């Protein structure tokens, strides 16, 4: 046991050294909202739908309600970036879409999540309101150090084992690489994928990440074989499956099932708002794109054919995980409230899309 590493301690030590090194760099990175939304695509890709205005309305309404009930300090205008091509909200805010507790929510964590269980599962600290309303929310454990195809099999096995009521529909939410694992599951296991109604990517490296391309060789030579106390080495291809050169090519040659509704929630933040332990990777990625969340560029986070929900002004961890709380960093309460609002807004948005209101003609 003494020869094994506790991943959290290793992360803090490594990132502290890296952050000190990056602090020596002279960088003047600016992020402007006077630019339109951008996402990487390819010829023949399904069209991305713009759902930012509707999602912002839901987030702002929830933020107002929580501010009145619990003195929450979440500002919806600061929580979501308003890029140049997003139309302004037209007051008054629209009524919230109704809940649908018949929707079963399954959450897939990202790369190395298995190795850092002390940080919790995505949205684990933000699901109390939804559970109170009757939603069933579960997590699908996947190998933290394995590639997307390996983890696709684990997702398929979990979905096949899941007892589903006749009127239930499954929503899969993937944080970070969890979103990539989900897409590979949908393609590799089409019969099981018939049970899925909707997929949401949160900070997902859908088109891969240039960061992975630059670090894959280093990971394979050194870190892939490191003995950790909490996670097995798996198939050792976790970084390989996140490379831009791999994932973008995979998407162009595989068609996602058309019966599923897809949604993408992207993230990026200014350097000062990135967790200190991610600033080194933020700086590396900023040479390619300063609008990144510490791990993934904002233009790589949109599923082809998905509804773009918005760009959240949080880093890659803060949007879904209580890392700051577990490592005793500041700004905890506002980020926890932000996660709860975003999580409920995502679920309400999907419920509304799967249960559209009847048209006047139908009435």
C-alpha closest to that of 238 among 154, 142, 122, 157: 142
pLDDT reported for residue 218? 59
Query: How high is the mean pLDDT of the chain?
Result: 86
Per-residue pLDDT band at 151 (split at 50, 70, 90):
very high
**In CATH, what number is assigned to the domain containing residue 277?**
3.40.50.1820
Percent of the chain with pLDDT over 90: 66
Residue 40 lies in a domain: no
pLDDT of residue 219: 60
Burial of residue 79, with CB atoms counted within 10 A of its CB: 0-12 exposed, 13-18 middle, 19 or more buried: buried
Span 244-254, pLDDT tens digits = 999 999 999 99
Looking at the predicted structure, is the pLDDT value of residue 308 above 50?
yes
Q: Is residue 24 part of a domain?
A: no
- Residue 41, domain member (yes or no): no
Report which DSSP code applies to 5: B
Q: Choose among 211, 239, 272, 248: nearest CA to 31.
A: 272
Task: Give the pLDDT of residue 202.
Answer: 98
pLDDT at 279: 93
Q: What gap in Å lies between CA 312 and CA 315, rounded to an integer?
A: 8
Task: Report the alpha-carbon distance of residue 157 to residue 170 in Å, rounded.
Answer: 14
Whether 359 maps to a domain, the answer reads no
Q: How far from 321 is each of 7, 143, 188, 246, 308, CA to CA, in Å?
A: 16, 18, 28, 27, 21
Report pLDDT digits (tens) over 129-138.
Answer: 999 999 999 9
Query: What mean pLDDT comes out for the span 105-119?
Result: 91
Assigned domain for 250 exists: yes
334 Cβ neighbours under 8 A, 6+ residues apart: 73, 74
195 pLDDT band (50/70/90 cuts)? very high
In this prediction the pTM is 0.90
Predicted confidence at residue 164, as pLDDT, reads: 84
pLDDT of residue 228: 67
In a domain, 209, yes or no: yes
Q: State how many domains the chain has.
A: 1
pLDDT tens profile 279-293: 999 999 999 999 999
Binned at pLDDT 50, 70 and 90, residue 362 comes out as: very low
pLDDT at 2: 39
The pLDDT tens digits of the residues spanning 43-93 come to 999 999 999 999 999 999 999 988 877 656 789 989 999 999 998 887 777
Residue 208 predicted with pLDDT over 90: yes
Residue 31 domain flag? no
pLDDT value of position 359: 38
Token code pair at residue 15: 């990132």
Assess contact for 97 and 58: CB atoms under 8 A: yes
Sequential DSSP letters for 184-226: HHHHH-HHHHTTEEEEEEES--TT-BHHHHHHHHHHHHTGGGP
Q: Is the pLDDT at 267 greater than 50, yes or no?
A: yes
Would the pLDDT of 14 be above 60? no
Domain that holds residue 150: 7-19+49-354
pLDDT score recorded for residue 13: 42
Residue 198 has pLDDT above 70, yes or no: yes
Q: Which residues of 139-153 are buried (b: 16+ CB within 10 A; e: fewer)?
A: bbebbbbbbbbbbbb
Residue that wins the pLDDT comparison between 113 and 206? 206
- What is the share, in percent, of the chain residues with pLDDT greater than 70? 83
Per DSSP, the three-state class of 315 is: coil
Residue 223: which pLDDT band, with cuts at 50, 70 and 90? low
137: in domain: yes
């Amino acid at each position: 046991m003494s020869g094994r590493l506790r991943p959290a301690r290793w992360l803090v030590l490594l990132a502290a050294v890296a952050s000190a090194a990056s602090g020596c760099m002279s960088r003047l990175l600016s992020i402007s909202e006077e630019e339109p939304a951008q996402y990487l695509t390819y010829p023949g890709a399904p069209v991305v739908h713009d759902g930012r205005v509707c999602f912002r309305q839901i987030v702002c309404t929830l933020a107002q309600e929580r501010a009145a009930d619990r003195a929450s300090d979440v500002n919806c205008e600061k929580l979501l970036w308003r890029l140049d091509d997003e139309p302004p909200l037209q007051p008054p805010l629209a009524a919230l879409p109704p809940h649908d507790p018949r929707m079963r929510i399954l959450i897939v964590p990202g790369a190395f999540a298995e190795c850092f269980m002390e940080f919790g599962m995505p949205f684990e600290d933000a699901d109390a309101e939804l559970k109170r309303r009757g939603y069933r929310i579960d997590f699908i454990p996947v190998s933290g150090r394995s590639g997307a195809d390996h983890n696709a099999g684990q997702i398929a096995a979990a979905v096949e084992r899941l007892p589903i009521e006749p009127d239930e529909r499954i929503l899969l939410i993937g944080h970070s690489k969890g979103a990539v694992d989900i897409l590979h599951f949908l393609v590799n296991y089409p019969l099981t994928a018939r049970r899925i109604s909707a997929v949401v990517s949160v900070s997902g490296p859908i088109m891969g990440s240039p960061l992975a391309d630059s670090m894959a060789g280093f990971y394979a030579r050194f870190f892939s074989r490191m003995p950790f106390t909490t996670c097995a080495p798996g198939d050792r291809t976790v970084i390989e499956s996140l490379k831009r050169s791999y994932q973008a090519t995979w998407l162009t040659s595989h068609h996602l099932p058309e019966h599923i509704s897809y949604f993408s929630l992207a993230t990026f933040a200014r350097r000062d708002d990135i967790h200190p332990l991610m600033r080194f990777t933020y700086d590396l990625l900023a040479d390619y794109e300063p609008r990144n969340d510490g791990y993934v560029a904002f233009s790589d986070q949109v599923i082809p054919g998905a509804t773009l929900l918005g760009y959240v002004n949080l880093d890659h961890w803060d949007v879904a995980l209580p890392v700051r709380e577990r490592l005793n960093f500041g700004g905890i309460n506002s980020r926890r409230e932000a996660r709860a609002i975003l999580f409920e807004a995502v679920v309400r948005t999907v419920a509304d899309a799967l249960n559209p209101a009847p048209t006047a003609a139908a009435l």
